[in-house]
Amino acid sequence: MPRIRPFRAGDEPALAHVCLLTADAGGDATGVLEDDDLWARLFVLPYVERHPQFAFVVETDDDRVAGYIVCAPDTRGFEEWFRDGWWPRFAQQYPKPDAERSRQDGVLIYAYGRGPGAEPYGDVYPAHLHIDLLPELQGQGWGRRLIETLIAALRDAGVTGLHLVASLENTGAIAFYPRVGFTPLPSHEGVQAFGMRL
């Protein structure tokens, strides 16, 4: 039986692997970008570096990490750190594109645009999450259990609200979040945001 446990140092390669295999609107993103590592460097690794106490994994019977949830409890503070402390490490490897000629260019433009106040949900819903499960764990309640585990940790820390943003192409995610208590929020083109007061 798989089990949920807190993130621990050394999980990073497994988290990056899960992120890659789910990054393309819930599907395998291998080869979608010129550099497969970029997904994790944006959507999972900075979270476990900055806030490891709000990261949990699903571990299988054979001790593989096959899913995770990561969170920033203070989106504004996290995005400021991402802009000033995390992303500059990769600026030489990933120069800022002057135009969006490829999907990787689009992802990099997003990365360079991150910062406090870049999205409008952080005032009412200060925390935000990323959650990913390999197909072998989907549809078995592990997503719900991960979210419940995270919510308990956020409430213990006094966090008052949580949000996330999903691609409209990820129809499974769009259907899932309202079932676990999230409310749809006004959203940008191509995505759907959800919020939950804690």
The pLDDT profile of the chain, 198 residues, written as one tens digit per residue, is 999 999 999 999 999 999 999 999 999 999 999 999 999 999 999 999 999 999 999 999 999 999 999 999 999 999 999 999 999 999 999 999 999 999 999 999 999 999 988 777 888 999 999 999 999 999 999 999 999 999 999 999 999 999 999 999 999 899 999 999 999 998 888 899 999 999
Which pLDDT score, from 0 to 100, does residue 117 have?
A: 80
Which pLDDT score, from 0 to 100, does residue 57 have?
A: 98
Strands 161-167 and 127-133: parallel
Which pLDDT score, from 0 to 100, does residue 118 have?
A: 75
- pTM assigned to the model: 0.95
Considering the segment(s) 3-159 as one domain, its CATH architecture is: 3-Layer(aba) Sandwich (3.40)
Phi-psi group of 158: left, alpha or beta (phi > 0 → left; psi -120 to 50 → alpha; rest → beta) = left
* Integer Cα distance of 49 and 144 in angstroms: 24
Which pLDDT score, from 0 to 100, does residue 122 have?
A: 83
